[in-house]
Structure 1
């Protein structure tokens, strides 16, 4: 895509873009080499259990190089230079694409056929969110890219920037960003930066307002609301009224600086009132859950991003958190193995916490 140019696509076309073309005929490496290459993009704990497949370019027939045991399916390097892994629910879709390509159908014809099959119930519809993985071995494209689909979501509803980080990611210090907002193909690009030996992250700034917005990408900082709470009353004190969807609080006593989507503001205001009354964390959590159950507080929407910054090196320094209530590793295609220590040491990858609960969320550590 050309920088700054807007594109729209239907859901089928978006899936084709994320999953990519099938391999071209070429000299075939050994089966073991293809398997190792195909799963390299995955976190270590998912590699051994992933299914690995290829497709015959002439017939579209699927060939299973290794039958896996987990929810992921991977393909060795394709004609476009990428390796890809995706949830096994997309296997039937890939099989259909392969058959159509073998029949010399155009990408537009394939997209239309996939869309029609989904509409007819012959293929599963894309879920509310799903992670896919893409690897590349040259410097002209992002080498380690995770992509989470969020169909029809917007920057405001998720709480994330649409400012492309492609160039920064090519240099090894990119941040996630949204593409195709508001369309069936909406997704968040999550470049996995190379490990860093010495962090360049800081939580220091000359004043409270500029410090509070440091967790955000630069293009969101100027428009963010900045506020804090009166510890005696729990009242919200607005330090700067913003113009976008982000709300930030200056560094707290625990050393964390947080930014949130404004949609979760009522929950935070409610919690602040309870803490001002001397309630414990457990009591606050229980009260928030009860209010949500009673309908007096809206639940955190699925696919809402928050941002956390920490100035020392004993915790993850820059962390993005995507709320995915009720999600499991299988349902969203993400490992639920804790990668905290790796993240603290500058080589973090996303993982799912509190799987299957209302508090389920994806931890997205940023290596910088």
Structure 2
């Protein structure tokens, strides 16, 4: 995450502000972030979110296997995700490289090389990520309510292929699984339910 060189702190109920971007309270960030997780996993999930100066910090310790990332207030739209704790080395490495200013392709290439060399430890078992997204106007930063959210799932199976799983390389229909980045360190099964007309694009 790039360092913000200037920020304005505004005193208002439930908010701080950096670089003209409002940041919900930790409680609101937690409430919205765990909406990405299955209902029975929400209460015990660890949650990372943002401080008023834009730093990513642990907002709540977890008691189960899920880690959730709150919406980044600097990005357009609402987006939160929850993933299995065994994916944390992969996710943390991506955040570190992004903070260094690396491009998406550079991040992919670095993690691919490090995973193949064994430096980056990828999960041995299939591990899941859940994400929820919505339009800006559908996320209430004062209550944490998200309307018209779109939830999708990803199952990481490093280095798996279409042949090893029997999955197609593209979806054969709405909501049907397919494999993306086959044979790569981040090979994963995509499960995208039909998108409601009101959901974010």
TM-score, with structure 1 as normaliser: 0.38
- In structure 2, what is the equivalent of residue 41 of structure 1? 36
Contact 1:58 1:102 in 2 (8 A): no
Partner-residue secondary structure (3-state), 2:23? coil
Aligned 8 A contact 1:53 1:64 in 2: yes
Aligned to 1:191: 192
Which of 48, 73, 95 aligns to 2:67? It is 73
5 Å matches for 1:294-305? none
Cα distance in structure 2, aligned partners of 1:127 and 1:57? 37
Question: Measured at CA, do residues 54 and 117 of structure 1 come closer, stay the same or move farther in structure 2, by a change above 3 Å?
Answer: farther
Residue 76 of structure 1 and its aligned partner are, at CA, apart by 1.3
Structure 1 Cα separation of the partners of residues 95 and 187 of structure 2: 24
Equivalent position of 1:277 in the other structure: none
Instruction: Give the superposition deviation at 1:89.
Output: 2.5
3-state DSSP of counterpart to 1:136: strand
User: Whole-Å Cα distance in 2 between the matches of residues 113 and 160 of structure 1?
Assistant: 26
Q: CA deviation at 1:31?
A: 1.1
- The one-character-per-residue Cα deviations of 1:111-137 (angstroms, maximum 9, x if unpaired) are 344344445544312434211111112
What stretches of structure 1 move > 6 A for 4+ residues in a row? 56-59
1:31 aligns with 2:26: yes
Alignment partner, residue 104 of structure 1: 101
C-alpha distance in 2 between matches for 1:117 and 1:157: 23
The Cα of 1:156 is off from its aligned counterpart by 4.1
- Measured after TM superposition, the shift of residue 148 of structure 1 is 0.9
For residues 109 and 99 of structure 2, the distance between their equivalents in structure 1, rounded to whole angstroms, comes to 16
Change (3 A) 1:160 1:72: same
Corresponding residue of 2:164 = 157
Aligned residue number for residue 175 of structure 1: 176
Offset, 1:55: 5.6
Pairwise CA RMSD: 3.4
Is the Cα contact below 8 Å between 1:55 and 1:98 reproduced in 2?
A: no
Q: State the aligned residue count.
A: 163
1:144 deviates by: 1.1
Preserved CA contact (<8 Å) 2:50 2:70? no
Check if 1:54 corresponds to 2:49: yes
Contact 2:158 2:188 in 1 (8 A): yes
Contact (CA 8 Å) 1:57, 1:98: kept in 2 or not?
Answer: no
Contact 2:131 2:153 in 1 (8 A): yes
Structure 1, unaligned stretches of length 5 or more? 1-23, 169-173, 195-368
Q: Give distance in 1, aligned partners of 2:153 and 2:59.
A: 23
Structure 1: distance between partners of 2:157 and 2:79: 22
- For 1:111 and 1:57, locate their aligned partners in 2 and report how far apart those are by CA, in whole Å: 29
Higher RCO (C-alpha under 8 Å, 6+ residues apart): 2
State the secondary structure of the residue aligned to 2:68.
Answer: strand
**Higher alpha-carbon Rg:** 1
Q: Deviations over 1:126-162 (max 9, x none)?
A: 43421111111249xx911111122333334323333
